[in-house]
Structure 1
């Protein structure tokens, strides 16, 4: 069986109102993530720094430019079992600040984008890893 690994970088983007940006996934072929809420981000490509990956993914998915500030003190690591391989996925998350851009859907795997406050968090069904990062963000940076 083939062994693979994947590094995912997510960003919690904060606007001037203290809201964070969330994205709703649209991946019908993956029922465990389809229509769940997530954070912008994606897979680290060969030769990219983590910060470059995150800036690229944020722009591709949302049309926004963000400053990557600092890495959150949390790492998620999981091994996924597939028919043809075992995949070790490591997910990191950075705190980011909105710079500029026009918010719009740029990715066919994203159904919706929303700015939300801390008080609105429980109104959304998040992927478990994103929920952990969001909770960690608010524990460390308040609001």
Structure 2
């Protein structure tokens, strides 16, 4: 008898800074519907984390990233959806252009929000970041 091993997936979230705000999108679809999340997606085989962030942000928002740094990670178990992700975050800047909904089946809108005034509900990985006390605006 063959037993299938289920392993966590790797997600990459891009915390995009513009002034004192971050970019959030309102998710659509079964997984996280109605929650606000950073742009991002699945890490592809052989892909660098920074390149994944750059690719996903361009695909989802039309924005280009600058000064990409590796940020924190979260361990996210979505019990209801029976999904488990390790979410790797990048922190980057985007100084030009407006975020455009490029994938309307996955996101209904993009908006810039102050870190301590983010809309609710937040997607689980962001909630976990906040529980850790993380802020991209605090210098360590």
Q: TM-score, normalised by structure 1?
A: 0.78
Q: Secondary structure at the match of 2:65?
A: strand
Q: CA deviation at 1:139?
A: 6.3
8 Å CA contact retained: 2:14, 2:40: yes
8 Å CA contact retained: 2:91, 2:136: no
In 1, the alpha carbon distance for the partners of 2:36 and 2:78 equals: 20
Higher strand share: 1
Question: For residue 14 of structure 2, what is the aligned residue in structure 1?
Answer: 11
Which of the numbers 92, 110, 116 marks the counterpart of 2:113? 116
Q: CA deviation at 1:112?
A: 1.1
In 2, the alpha carbon distance for the partners of 1:94 and 1:115 equals: 17
Q: CA deviation at 1:63?
A: 0.7
In 1, the alpha carbon distance for the partners of 2:129 and 2:76 equals: 15
In 2, the alpha carbon distance for the partners of 1:34 and 1:132 equals: 18
Question: For residue 138 of structure 2, what is the aligned residue in structure 1?
Answer: 140
| Structure 1 residues 1-49: Cα deviation after superposition (integer angstroms, max 9, x where no partner) | 422331111011011x31110011001x33xx11111111110011211
Higher helix share: 1
Which of the numbers 92, 98, 117 marks the counterpart of 1:96? 92
8 Å CA contact retained: 2:76, 2:125: no
Taking only aligned residues, the RMSD between alpha carbons, in angstroms, comes to: 2.6
In 2, the alpha carbon distance for the partners of 1:34 and 1:130 equals: 14
**Structure 2 vs 1, CA of residues 80 and 117 (structure 1 numbering), >3 Å: closer, same or farther?**
closer
Unaligned stretches of 5+ residues in structure 2: none
Between the two proteins, the alignment pairs up a number of residues equal to 134
Unaligned stretches of 5+ residues in structure 1: none
